[in-house]
């Protein structure tokens, strides 16, 4: 993890009030944590469809049990991997499928769109992180371990 840098930000007072409200609603301990979260989310949004960046996300699909879910092979999308697959019946007629997927952002989006555009399918793709953010998380963990092992 990089070194923490403090810097000042000038903001309209109404915007600061909204930031404080968001901080309380999200349960963040302070404005800094809220701003860090917003920056991370913007990085995900910016790189989610990028051909070069790897992403991890969830694809949630709802469909009628009798009509089923069309099969959309990942073979045409070489980087796409389904790492988890959960299916349940929300009620007698509606199935819910949640897939955890990873791969190049552009391919993950293209593959998911084929499923989401199917008749009688409702759903959403949520990109949770890019490879760059995962590196940040790994570095944060390494930094914590280093601090825990520090004899002083």
Instruction: Give the 3-state DSSP-derived string for the chain, with helices as H, strands as E and coil as C.
Output: CCCCCCCCCCCCHHHHHHHHHHHHHHCCCCHHHHHHHHHHHHHHHHHCCCCCCEEEEEEEEEEECCCCCCCCCCCCCCCCEEEEEEEEECCCCEEEEEEEEEEEHHHHHHHHHHHHCCCCEEEEEEEEEEHHHHHHHHHHHHHHHHHHHCCC
pLDDT at 152: 52
Q: Whole-angstrom Cα distance, residue 47 to residue 55?
A: 8
pLDDT at 128: 85
The pLDDT tens digits for 68-81 are 888 888 999 999 99
Q: Max Cα separation, the chain?
A: 64
Q: Where are the domains of the chain?
A: 13-47, 54-131
pLDDT at 83: 95
pLDDT at 137: 63
What values do phi and psi take at 131, rounded to 5? -60, -35
pLDDT at 70: 82
pLDDT at 25: 95
The CATH T-level fold of domain 54-131 is Alpha-Beta Plaits (3.30.70)
Average pLDDT over residues 40-45: 74
pLDDT at 131: 76
- In the predicted structure, residue 42 carries a pLDDT above the cut 90: no
């Amino acid at each position: 993890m990089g070194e923490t840098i403090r810097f000042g930000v000038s903001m309209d007072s109404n915007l600061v009030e909204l930031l404080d409200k968001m901080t309380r609603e999200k349960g963040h301990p302070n404005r800094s944590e809220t701003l860090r979260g917003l920056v991370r989310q913007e990085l995900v949004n910016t790189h989610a469809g990028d051909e070069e960046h790897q992403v991890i996300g969830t694809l949630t699909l709802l469909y009628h049990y009798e009509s089923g879910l069309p099969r959309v092979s990942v073979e045409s999308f070489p980087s796409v991997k389904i790492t988890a697959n959960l299916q349940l019946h929300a009620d007698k007629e509606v199935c819910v499928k949640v897939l955890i997927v990873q791969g190049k952002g552009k391919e993950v989006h293209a593959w998911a769109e084929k499923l989401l555009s199917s008749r009688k399918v409702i759903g959403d793709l949520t990109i949770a992180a890019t490879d760059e953010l995962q590196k940040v998380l790994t570095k944060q963990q390494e930094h914590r371990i280093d601090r825990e092992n520090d004899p002083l």
